[in-house]
Amino acid sequence: MTDQTPGDELDEEARRAAFRAELRLTPEDGGGRIVGRVSKKFMWTAIAVLAVLGLGGQAVEHYFGNIGLPTSSGPTTTFTTPTTLRVHTTTTVASVAAADTAYIGLKPIGTATASAFTLTDQRSKPYGTTQARGRVTLVTFYNKNCNDICPVVGAELRDLLGDLGATAAKINVIIVNTDPFSFGASAQPLALTTPGLAGHANVHFVTGTVANLNAVWRAYGIQIKVGASASEVSHNSLIYFLGPDSSIAAYATPFARVNTLGQFSLPAADIARFAKGLEFETISLNP
């Protein structure tokens, strides 16, 4: 069995060819489709190679570019300071929890119901919010090949599972692929092996057709932006907290530093602190 199926990947020449075709975007069901002089191969393989994918949904913020995409016209390092969360407390433990949840930019949502989805995980099994129902679940988004904020968010999730200890077995983590050019199923995606998440049975890296992925991106407020070159892809970064009843309790906003090569990083101490903030919110949702 191969990790990828034919047509699931576009090589660099194919990507350039797709963008050389004069693409334009037209509305369709609130999203869009590609029209113009594009071959059927690219029409179906890259159905959502749009100027912007995943429009709509929840809050959109904290954009992170892939390799080759500058994040600003100034310095090449981006670091977003999380918004302070106002929590009134008198106990030391609660004060620490409030500080750490503020650090992750936690935004309570309330009683919103998570949009249901089922994609394909690294075990070639159907998995999504439907299968995760009944457990506290974290849902986040990054690239299959781990060339975006993946090394940072993946490390934070790894530390979270370590911090939870035995409790980690009671939660699920769903990572949704954000790469519109590399979406084939893989048993050992870099998205899991690079940050050290491959050994966790309750961590699911899910992918699917670009059309199906785009529906999830839209529902959860994830914008995928494709630049002039096919290698220039950016997206915002969010981590959602779902309760056992699939309600969305809150979301966090990851951040990172990026160097001139487009590589994302964060000091180990900051990763550990972010993981601690994730832990406090996760524990609060456990029945």
Q: Cα(262)–Cα(255) distance, rounded to whole angstroms? A: 14
DSSP per residue, 137-175: EEEEEE-TT--SSHHHHHHHHHHHHHHHGGGGGGEEEEE
Q: Is 243 helix (H, G, I), strand (E, B) or coil?
A: coil
CA torsion sign for 232, 236, 239, 245 is negative
End-to-end CA distance of the chain: 40
Q: Cα(95)–Cα(89) distance, rounded to whole angstroms? A: 6
Query: pLDDT at position 189, please?
Result: 95
Query: pLDDT at position 39, please?
Result: 38
Query: pLDDT at position 279, please?
Result: 94
Number of helices (H), then strands (E), belonging to the chain: the values are: 8, 16
116 conformational bin, left if phi > 0, alpha if psi -120 to 50, beta if neither: beta
Q: Which residues lie closer than 8 Å to 229 by C-beta, 6 or more apart?
A: 15, 16, 19, 68
Query: pLDDT at position 226, please?
Result: 80
The pTM score is 0.70
Look at residues 242, 7, 276 and name the one whose alpha carbon lies nearest to residue 109.
242
Query: pLDDT at position 138, please?
Result: 98
Tens place of pLDDT for every residue, the chain, 287 residues? Answer: 444 443 455 554 554 444 343 333 333 333 332 222 333 333 333 333 333 455 443 333 332 222 222 233 332 223 232 333 233 333 445 565 677 778 999 999 877 899 999 999 999 999 999 999 999 999 999 999 999 999 999 999 999 999 999 999 999 999 999 998 888 888 999 999 999 999 999 999 999 999 999 999 999 999 988 876 666 788 999 999 999 999 999 999 999 999 988 899 999 999 999 999 999 999 999 86
Taken in order of first residue, the domains within the chain and their CATH numbers are 57-285 (3.40.30.10)
Are the beta carbons of 160 and 279 closer than 8 angstroms? Answer: yes
